[in-house]
Structure 1
Amino acid sequence: MANIEHKLVASSRKEEGKGASRRLRRSGQVPAIVYGGHQDPLSIQVEHNHLWHVAQNEWFYSSILSLEVDGKVQKVLLRDMQRHPYKQQIMHLDFQRISENEALRARVPLHFLNQEKSPAGKAAGVVVTHELNEVEVSALPKDLPEYIEVDLSDLKLGDVIHLSQLRLPAGVTIPALAHGKEHDLAVVIAKHARVEEEPVEAPESAEVPAAKVAAKPEGEGGDAKKK
């Protein structure tokens, strides 16, 4: 899978603090920071409309980005993005610099293929659940995939696909698998659909026969004693 260059343009900023960030947002800019890579942190700003458009792409969250700041390009990964609670507004970004010779960890989306063609996909009463939609991998920057394909062509009822069964590109590993079998999580499960039982109406309570009614003690509710 060939990696495509994804570019984001930004500019450096000198003013910091909440007040400066609010002024930036009002002017249509998003405050951000770039850190790591054995360099000092760098405060930057990104034009919001451009950023909002770029952020609609899956690759923005998992691929290495070519971040151009004041004309100089550096390789980074998005590590955090804060959104406004209810407005369509990005509030802040954190980027981590990437060293070409150091392995990195990143969460990569899973793309599920051929589910509708599989025996499980064609069978009635079978539900195919995707237990995971992304996975954390370790790789050198040049080997980091934008996504990992999961081919479900042969999936049958009762099958479970685990992390250890994923076909990974060369140079890519899943760190969690080094910690034991209990970390080999299920990715896809094909199982019977649950059929909810219709509620059974309770029978109407029958009248209790008179013979079953306990007799009242003598003197309670009976005839008065004769004098």
Structure 2
Amino acid sequence: MKVVAFKRELQGTGASRRLRNSGQTPGIIYGGTEAPVTISLDHNALYHALKKEVFHSSILDLEIDGAVQKVLLRDFQMHAFKQLVLHADFQRVDASTKVHMKVALHFANADVSPAVKLHGATISHVANEIEVSCLPSDLPEFITVDLSNIDVGHSLHIGDLTLPKGVTAITHGANLTIATASVPAGHVAAEAAAAAPAADAKPAAKGKK
């Protein structure tokens, strides 16, 4: 994805407020061997880009004065109640240096899992993203979580994921839970109630000849 930015000379609260009033969002680019550069971006273009998942987990082409740099979106601030992007931070990336990045999880095949097909279970998504380490060229847009084999009472962990080539999950020593499968309490109670009359039923007495 491409992002167009402009160098921003004036800084401070007043300058930032004037930028926002003119439809621009202040930001900064940092990292690498170059000095940080303060920038401004078109607010509406940035606001709509932030709605796209790929914008948060992809290497972006950021153009300033005709020169393009490879960057990652590292942070952004939103207004407390207005649909207003207050600031955006971008980090330069080097093609030969691994990056640490949070990547979204996409859950698939829950409907064909034993938990759902056989037991009517609910699969809860405990995590919606994980942190990974990889070269910029290997950074995935998302990671697919295959739920086809999960059964009731079982959980899926980071260690169970099939990661793309060159991508390593950062776990900090913990095999964190990604998803769990459980039967809703109401469903269990209904099944028990339905089974009770059958268990309590007595054979009918035989009639006299």
TM-score, normalising length: structure 2:
0.86
Say if 2:5 is the partner of 1:10: yes
Partners of 2:161 and 2:85 in 1: CA distance: 34
Of structures 1 and 2, the larger Rg is shown by 1
Q: Deviations over 1:100-150 (max 9, x none)?
A: 111110000000011122222234551211110000000010111110001
RMSD between aligned residues: 1.5
Report 1:81-92 matches (<5 A). Answer: 81-92=76-87
> Where does residue 58 of structure 1 map in the other structure?
53
Superposition map of 1:170-209 within 5 A = 170-176=165-171, 179-180=172-173, 183-195=174-186
4+ runs of 1 displaced by more than 2 Å?
A: 121-125, 194-197
Residue 70 of structure 1 is matched in structure 2 by: 65
TM-score by length of 1: 0.79
Percent identical residues = 49
Amino acid at match of 1:46: L
Residue aligning to 1:141: 136
- CA positional deviation for 1:192: 2.2
Provide the residue aligned with 2:158 in structure 1. Answer: 163
The runs of 5 or more residues in structure 1 that have no matched partner are: 1-5, 198-227
Q: Quick one: distance in 1 between partners of 2:54 and 2:116?
A: 28
The answer for unaligned runs of 5 or more in structure 2 is 190-209
